[in-house]
Structure 1
Amino acid sequence: MVLLSFDIEEFDMPLEYKGEIPFDRQILISQTGLIRILDILKKHNVKATFFSTVVFAENSKNLIERLLSEGHELASHTWFHSDFKEEHLKESKDKLEELFSTKITGLRMPRMMPVSKNAVENAGYSYNSSINPTFLPGRYNNLKVSRTYFWEESVIQIPASVSPNFRIPLFWLSFHNFPLFFYKKLASDTLKKDNYLNIYFHPWEFAKIKDEAFKLPGFTVKNSGKEMVERFDEFISWLKSKNYTFGTFQEFQKRIES
């Protein structure tokens, strides 16, 4: 099963690099990208999971309602993208459920930050996908963590996919920077070994983010915007040609618990 997921959030990444971007533009860029993602998924009739901050959801209600009406899953990306308190775990879950009358069962922490497993369980989540089980200098060192899903008390942790050999991460940055044929090879190897693929992206990758004011490094904007739309569309077509199935995290959880 292919687990496509998208962290839908205010596009605040320029602030990490001392760039400038007003809040309204952060939201608009992510909204533009989200529309393009939903159009691609609708074209291919595949379902995905969207981890949303409350901030983005409150400012994009029509788009959240659209993704739910098209059969996608909504999950929590906490309240803010750049500010976190442990109480946000339950507060964000409750607020998203209140706003959209849907059951929120999953969590992904912003920037895959570590979080207390007890706090996640106490907040009422049944799955968490907040680990990239690889080594990325300055960001992650999770080489001792299981590559595949595992239980933390009653919560299922579903790490992002990495290749069976050498734990090469299959997250958004590798999708942009690897030759597509090589990324497909890694994805194929992972699906054969694990029987599922958990890969994640962001809506702003599908929008125009090559702006000098943002001060973003070249590796973060490579193959973004229109190039990303075309690249992602081709990748989904390739997966479908191989007869892989697609599902939400909730569907995947039901399958592994049955």
Structure 2
Amino acid sequence: MILLGFDLEEFDLPIELGNAISFDEQLTISTYGNTALLALLKEFSVKATFYCTANYAIHKPEVIKQIIMEGHEIASHGYFHSAFVKEHLLQSRLKLQEIAGVPVTGFRMPRMMPVDEQEIADAVYTYNSSLNPTWLPGRYNNFDQPRTWFYKNGVLQLPASVSPGLRIPLFWLSFHNLPMWLLKTLSASTLKKDGYLNLYFHPWEFFNLETKPQYGLPSYIVRNSGNNLLQRLRGFITWAKSKGYTFERTADFVGKVSR
């Protein structure tokens, strides 16, 4: 079972790095990548989960409605991508439900930052996918955390997938920088060990970031962005289907393991 998750947000990464980008351009780049992603998922009849900020959804409600119409899941990615107070947990869920017209049961904290699990439970989420159980320099060191799903404060915690043993992360940056044969090998071993993969990307990665040097993004992010990343994901899905692996929305998977 493979769970594809896409963090659909205002593309504010240049601002985090000290560079300017207008809000309209943030929305345009994320929406461009999301359109390409939806077409790819539709081509392969793959269903996925889109973790959306309420801020993005308010400005692009037609995108949220298309995601739902095409059979995907909407989960919360907070209210804003670069600002957080605990009230945003409930507020984002309610706003997304209002726009999408469907229940929202999952949450992922922007940048996989820590979030109080009791506050997640109080905001009535069923699952939280905000943990990357590995070490990323300058971000976090979660080697002491469980590698696979577990419960905390009554909420199912669904960490991003990392390989057994060395805990090599199988996430968006890996798809930019690792050879695909290695990613497939690590994915197969993780699937054999855990029975599932929880992978995450951002729609803005599927815009050719090499054309925007003014953003000041590091090479390990712009490498294989845009159509190159789309073709890498296409090849991964093709490989996975040839091996008999299936794809599922995260809420559906959570419903099965929590029974």
**Residues 65-117 of structure 1: per-residue CA shift (max 9 Å, x gap):** 11101110000001000001110000000111111211000000000010101
d(CA) in 2 for partners of 1:153, 1:24? 38
**Unmatched runs of 5 consecutive residues or more in structure 1:** none
In the other structure, the counterpart of 1:163 is 163
In the other structure, the counterpart of 1:124 is 124
SS of the counterpart of 2:167?
coil
**Residues 165-223 of structure 1: per-residue CA shift (max 9 Å, x gap):** 20001110011100111111111110000000000000011012221210000001110
d(CA) in 2 for partners of 1:185, 1:139? 26
d(CA) in 2 for partners of 1:60, 1:10? 10
In the other structure, the counterpart of 2:207 is 207
In the other structure, the counterpart of 2:102 is 102
In the other structure, the counterpart of 1:256 is 257
d(CA) in 2 for partners of 1:100, 1:64? 6
d(CA) in 2 for partners of 1:226, 1:137? 28
Kindly provide the amino acid, as one letter, of the partner of residue 217 in structure 1.
Answer: P
Kindly provide the amino acid, as one letter, of the partner of residue 239 in structure 2.
Answer: W
d(CA) in 2 for partners of 1:186, 1:17? 31
- Structure 1 length-normalised TM: 0.98
Kindly provide the amino acid, as one letter, of the partner of residue 216 in structure 2.
Answer: K
Displacement, 1:63? 1.4
Displacement, 1:257? 1.8
In the other structure, the counterpart of 1:69 is 69
**Residues 32-90 of structure 1: per-residue CA shift (max 9 Å, x gap):** 00000000000000100000001111122111111101110000001000001110000
Kindly provide the amino acid, as one letter, of the partner of residue 254 in structure 2.
Answer: Q
RMSD: 0.7
In the other structure, the counterpart of 2:57 is 57
**Unmatched runs of 5 consecutive residues or more in structure 2:** none
Structure 1 segment 1-258 matched on structure 2, within 5 A: 1-210=1-210, 211-258=212-259
Contact 1:20 1:214 survives alignment (8 Å): yes
Kindly provide the amino acid, as one letter, of the partner of residue 153 in structure 1.
Answer: N
Contact 1:19 1:216 survives alignment (8 Å): no
Identical aligned residues as a percent? 50
SS of the counterpart of 2:209?
coil
Displacement, 1:153? 2.1
Q: Which moved more, 1:89-98 or 1:56-65?
A: 56-65
Q: Which moved more, 1:226-235 or 1:191-200?
A: 226-235
Contact 1:46 1:247 survives alignment (8 Å): yes
- Structure 2 length-normalised TM: 0.98
d(CA) in 2 for partners of 1:153, 1:77? 20
d(CA) in 1 for partners of 2:216, 2:199? 26
SS of the counterpart of 1:169?
coil
Any runs of at least 4 consecutive aligned residues in structure 1 with deviations exceeding 2 A, and if so which? none
SS of the counterpart of 1:62?
helix
SS of the counterpart of 2:235?
helix
d(CA) in 1 for partners of 2:19, 2:153? 41
Kindly provide the amino acid, as one letter, of the partner of residue 237 in structure 2.
Answer: I
